[in-house]
Structure 1
Amino acid sequence: MEIIEILGYVGALLIGVVLGLIGGGGSILTVPILVYALMLNPVVATAYSLFVVGATSLVGAIKNMMKGMVDFKTAIIFAIPAFIAVYLTRAFLIPAIPVELFEVGDFMVTKNLVIMLFFAIIMLLASISMIRNKRKELEEDVEITYNYPLIVIEGVVVGTITGIVGAGGGFLIIPALVLLAKLPMKKAVATSLFIIAIKSLIGFLGDVQNLDIDWAFLLSFSALSIVGIFLGIWLNNFIDGSKLKKGFGWFVLVMGVYIIYKELVK
């Protein structure tokens, strides 16, 4: 096994650790690790990422459900349009995009290039969200209200983005739950993890019919990520999550810029 491949599996552990430490963000690492360390095709990488993110998030979601932190009504209102959007994106939109799109001079714009550049843009947006991190905690006894149309629209948008890039979209879901459903931050994070888990796994079902899945690799990679989330939860007792989140945001920012550079300057 080559060093770069070993680093890829270490990265699987890191994905879970970050999720356990800051409640999100780890999934943004999955596609770069699968593409650049383990040399997977971007379409396959985004598919595998959905499974890894879904399985790992589900572990955290179950833990939150046992604590009564998941708001199921909000999750259902948000998740149903997101589920539909992510499944349709993976099952029909991604396979329908031609491998080669158009040529600019001598430079061929391909489906893989567009997916990775779009992913890099999402990474940059996620990094800004983590670096700024100015959300205020709401009181736990605030009455939960629902802006149904906006929640449904947000669900469709997040589902489509998740389907394209294979990331959970927590940086989009959590603000939506806080602003549109008026959830307290802790409940928003817990509910977001539940939505991400189910949405990602349903999105992956859209790929099962189109791709040959290497289950041995995928399950072993996911198992390492799940071990990582338990390690991250334990480390959370000793590390300031807010400072870590900002530092991780800068790391994601650098990674996003690196992907843009690597894809455009070959």
Structure 2
Amino acid sequence: MEYFGYLASILIGITLGLIGGGGSILTVPILVYLFNIQPESATSYSLFIVGITAMVGAYRHYTLGNLKIKSALYFALPSIVSLLIIRKILLPKIPASLFYIHDFEVTKDLLIMVVFALLMVAASISMIRKSKENTTSEINFPRLALIGLLVGFITGFLGAGGGFLIIPALLFFANLPMKQAVGTSLFIIFINSLIGFTGDMIGGIAIDYKLLFAITIIAIVGMIIGTQLSKKIDGAKLKPAFGWFVLVMGIYIIVKEILL
């Protein structure tokens, strides 16, 4: 299954390169189901893989003038606060075994995967639905910061970069064009993910660095491919197709974790 895992890893970067998000939605299932990494550890791996890949993409967009630092910082700073609270205080306090429903044990790992799958379903719906255009030009910084706080919670608990939330926030509350929203989103994902991973390293989490670097390098190759494809493929048209794929994946995880 590892060979399929390495092959699938390229999709992480391609997705980030094309639509500025969605990489972590693929990363955690790939790590759990194809590399047999425990879900909680997979969230740490995901933070590093997605963070480094997003960094490469953010730099590329910076050279193209698609990175808006002020909007990124308004979003990222509160996001960092909630991310660290979740990963350093709340997540370690969740017991490995939560409760039983008759003979069915609800574990911490099961909770992470089911919540992640529900997040995938919600993300897929937002990708499939057509977005209404924002007609205002004023930047709503307080609301941008509030959504950053929410994304930090998601990033901390699930190891998800939150690009599917960041992109709409930048479009509607920072009034950025799509290309600038993608570049700024990648920068925010980079900051959030790497700070989260650094916190896990300080906490002493065990990491297979050989596997981690291998997947990351493949994802970076995917990012380069995705960035090149973005010049030829309209991200707005690709987003619904990817949304349907994510929806199927989310339903599969729910069925596998609960019913099988």
- TM-score, reference length from structure 1: 0.92
* Partner residue, 1:203: 196
Partner of 1:55: 52
Relative to structure 1, is the Cα distance of residues 236 and 75 closer, same or farther in structure 2, using a 3 angstrom cutoff?
closer
- Establish whether residue 251 from structure 1 lines up as the match of residue 248 from structure 2: no
State the match for 1:156 in structure 2: 149
- Aligned-partner residue type, residue 79 of structure 2: A
2:257 aligned partner: 263
Preserved contact between residue 74 and residue 141 of structure 2 (Cα < 8 Å) = no
Structure 1 gap segments, 5+ residues each: none
Tell me the residue number matched to 2:228: 234
Match of 2:61 among 42, 64, 74: 64
Following the alignment from structure 1 to structure 2, what is the Cα–Cα distance between the partners of residues 189 and 221?
23
The structure 2 residue matched to 1:92, chosen from 89, 93, 103, is 89
1:137, distance to aligned residue in structure 2 (A): 7.1
Please report how far the alpha carbon of residue 18 of structure 1 lies from its aligned counterpart in structure 2 after TM superposition: 1.8
Q: In structure 1, how many angstroms separate the alpha carbons of the residues matched to 2:210 and 2:124?
A: 32
Distance in 2 between the 1:216 and 1:170 partners? Answer: 27
Structure 2: distance between partners of 1:170 and 1:135 = 18
Per-residue deviation, residues 21-63 of structure 1 (Å, max 9, x unmatched): 2332232100000000111000000110011110001111011
* Structure 2 match to 1:179: 172
Distance 1:157 1:99 in 2: 25
Instruction: Verify: 1:126 aligned to 2:119, yes or no.
Output: no
4+ aligned runs moved over 6 Å, structure 1: none
Matched, 1:111 2:101: no
Number of aligned residue pairs: give it: 259
Give the conservation status (yes or no) of the 8 Å contact 1:91–1:206: yes
In 1: Cα distance, 2:259 partner to 2:154 partner: 25
Please report how far the alpha carbon of residue 67 of structure 1 lies from its aligned counterpart in structure 2 after TM superposition.
1.7
* Residue identity in the other structure for 2:74: I
What pairs up with 1:131-146 in 2 under 5 angstroms?
131-136=128-133, 143-146=137-140
The answer to whether residue 6 in structure 2 is matched with residue 34 in structure 1 is no
Q: Is the 2:155–2:162 contact (alpha carbons within 8 Å) kept by the matching residues of 1?
A: yes
Aligned match of 1:194:
187
Distance (Å, rounded) in 1 between the aligned partners of 2:16 and 2:223: 6
For the 8 Å contact 2:99–2:107, the answer to whether it is kept is: yes
When structure 1 is superposed on structure 2, of 223-232 and 20-29 the one drifting more is: 20-29
The whole-number CA distance in structure 2 between the counterparts of 1:6 and 1:57 is 23
Shift of 1:218: 0.6
RMSD: 1.7
Q: State how far apart, in whole Å, the 2-side matches of 1:34 and 1:166 are.
A: 12
Distance 1:235 1:74, change over 3 A: closer
Instruction: Give the partner amino acid of 2:3.
Output: I
Report deviation, 1:133.
Answer: 3.3
Offset, 1:75:
0.9
**Structure 1 pair 68–236 and aligned structure 2 pair: CA distance change class (3 A):** closer
* Higher mean C-alpha deviation, range 178-187 or range 66-75: 178-187
Query: Structure 1 181/18 Cα, relative in aligned 2: closer, same or farther at 3 Å?
Result: closer
Deviation at 1:143, TM superposition (A): 5.0
Check 1:124–1:137 CA distance in 2 against 1; reply closer, same or farther (3 A cut): same
Matched residues in 1 for 2:148 and 2:227: separation?
Answer: 28
Aligned: 1:213 with 2:210: no
5+ long unaligned stretches in structure 2: none
